[in-house]
Copies of this chain bind each other. A is one copy, B any other.
Amino acid sequence: MAKGITERAKDYSQWYIDVVKQADMAEHSPVKGCMVIKPTGYGIWEKIQQNLDRMFKETGHVNAYFPLLIPESFLKKEAEHVEGFAPECAVVTHGGGKKLEEPLVVRPTSETIIWDSYRNWISSYRDLPLLINQWANVLRWEMRTRLFLRTTEFLWQEGHTAHATHEEAEEEAYRMVQVYRRFAEEFLAMPVLVGRKTDKEKFAGALHTYCIEALMQDGKALQAGTSHHLGTNFAKAFDVQFQDRDSERKYVHATSWGVSTRLIGGMIMTHSDDSGLVIPPRLAPVPVVIVPIWRDDDQMALTLAKARHITEGWDKLFYKIDDRDQYKPGYKFNEWELKGIPIRIELGPRDVENNQVVAVRRDTGEKVTLSADGLRENLEKMLDDIQANLFQRAKDRTEASTHTVDSYDEYKERIKGGGFFRVFLNHADPKVEERLQGDTKSTIRCIPFDAPDEEGPCMITGAPCKGRVVAAQSY
């Protein structure tokens, strides 16, 4: 347990706030609900961007940029969409010293402005598919905010694709939620449920929404990414048609999909502990920090020289030598632990003598003495091992916290303890979800793709249901 960090067991919310603060990741800004992402936090976002962007490009997508401001009238063209987003919008009414003829909203998401452009970009089947992604900031006015998890302004990517057929759009929506799953597992080391949202929880304007859902350490679910099959809703709203191979004019089928800086919140709440942040190695801007230890100038010269010698030819993004003279080693150890650096290397005069270093793993706290020869390869193995261990630990925890329940009374009792609950619920009836939420503050998180073929009575109404859904309390 570290100074300045409340124990998880004592107050989980405060623990989260403390970790973000002590690891120096972000802070609230003077503008209500907005955050400042500090360099330590932004460095992780850059790693998320780089890796996701590569995965998008490998699946054929290109990046573009659409305007921040959207005419209010655009938002109104898709009925469900405006209902979902209008209450959350920030509105620009004045520009260049004058009142605007039409108010402009700061984008809460970009379907409308993008489909207005697509109308001019698509005329033939030859123009399809159109596979575009945008990295951008968006604004949704929020009443209760939490750094990274829910903020009025956040950073995200939004993919917007156009297809000739329903089937191709469906494939794309499915492909992208699987890209998110793979990213969550392989980079965030965060196991996720993958499935479909109920109609009540789907995106405003979508046919259906796919999602990844992760379970945080306090037993609450976090929606970490969504991929929407929009059907022809936006094509109809913005009159986007194409001439198909058969010479007929048809409406274009759409998807959109996004993840945001919320992933950083998910990463924190999946792995961090009472000593501070824990960063999965594959998202660490610098995975290894070397702390030379000295008592006097001679030892300083000796250990620093050894640190520089060992790291000769190493990639600068792989390590950092902490050569600050104004801080003691203990202070530095604590700082790097708080900041979640995967491996800390301690290098004292005795280690120099023995041509060795002490490597300390952030995930387990384990200390290992390693030869200075072949160190780089051994550190890389250790980083792989940390990445795998973090994932396995989170997976074990998620599985241990996933319960199968059939009685609503049992559910109402056990939901208080948190976790994913595999239950029968008749979500075709919207009242069922309303009652669930009213009674238990929990919601259906998703209808998992891999739900076994089961039948049973809705735990609230008794109506027959096919397949269990997963319910949980959530962020």
> A224 contacts the other chain (Cβ, under 8 Å)?
no
* Bound-complex Cα distance A117 to B37 (A): 11
What per-residue 1/0 map shows which CB atoms of A17-55 lie under 8 Å from chain B? 000000000010111001111110011011000000000
Contact B67 A117 (CB under 8 A): no
> A330 contacts the other chain (Cβ, under 8 Å)?
no
Inside 8 A of A31's CB, which chain B residues have their CB?
67, 69-71, 104, 113
Segment at the interface with B among A85-93, A188-196, A200-208:
A85-93
Which label, helix, strand, loop or mixed, suits the secondary structure of the A interface? mixed
What per-residue 1/0 map shows which CB atoms of A81-114 lie under 8 Å from chain B? 0000011111111111100000110100000010
A275 to chain B, nearest CB (A): 24
Contact A29 B91 (CB under 8 A): no
Inside 8 A of A30's CB, which chain B residues have their CB?
71, 74, 113, 116
Option from B42, B66, B152 in Cβ contact (under 8 Å) with A29: B66
Contact B95 A90 (CB under 8 A): yes
* Bound-complex Cα distance A60 to B396 (A): 41
> A149 contacts the other chain (Cβ, under 8 Å)?
no
> A314 contacts the other chain (Cβ, under 8 Å)?
no
How many copies of the polypeptide does the oligomer hold? Answer: 2
Inside 8 A of A96's CB, which chain B residues have their CB?
87-90, 141-143
Option from B39, B89, B91 in Cβ contact (under 8 Å) with A64: B39
Residue of A34, A43, A68 contacting most chain B CB atoms (<10 Å): A68
Contact B132 A68 (CB under 8 A): no
* Bound-complex Cα distance A143 to B98 (A): 12
Inside 8 A of A103's CB, which chain B residues have their CB?
94
Contact A94 B90 (CB under 8 A): yes
* Bound-complex Cα distance A237 to B91 (A): 29
Inside 8 A of A64's CB, which chain B residues have their CB?
36-39, 42
Classify chain A: how many residues form its interface, as a range. 35 or more
> A137 contacts the other chain (Cβ, under 8 Å)?
yes
Residue of A39, A71, A136 contacting most chain B CB atoms (<10 Å): A39
Inside 8 A of A326's CB, which chain B residues have their CB?
126
> A216 contacts the other chain (Cβ, under 8 Å)?
no
Inside 8 A of A35's CB, which chain B residues have their CB?
67
> A65 contacts the other chain (Cβ, under 8 Å)?
yes
Q: A91-B92, A94-B91, A96-B141 are in contact. Are A65 and B104 (CB under 8 A)?
A: no
Q: A71-B31, A90-B92, A95-B91 are in contact. Are A36 and B66 (CB under 8 A)?
A: yes
Inside 8 A of A46's CB, which chain B residues have their CB?
63
Inside 8 A of A65's CB, which chain B residues have their CB?
36-37, 42, 45, 155
Considering the complex, give the chain B residue whose CB is closest to the CB of A97.
Answer: B87
Inside 8 A of A305's CB, which chain B residues have their CB?
none
12 contacts between A and B (CB under 8 A): A31-B70, A31-B113, A36-B67, A39-B64, A42-B62, A88-B96, A89-B95, A91-B93, A95-B141, A96-B141, A96-B143, A126-B326
Could you tell me which A residues sit within 8 Å of B by CB distance?
27, 29-31, 34-39, 42-43, 45-46, 62-71, 74, 86-97, 103-104, 106, 113, 116-117, 120, 126, 132, 136-137, 139, 141-143, 152-153, 155, 326
19 new A-B contacts at CB < 8 Å, known A39-B63, A42-B65, A43-B62: A27-B117, A31-B67, A31-B70, A34-B69, A35-B67, A36-B65, A36-B117, A37-B65, A38-B64, A39-B62, A42-B64, A43-B63, A46-B63, A68-B153, A69-B139, A87-B96, A91-B93, A92-B106, A96-B141
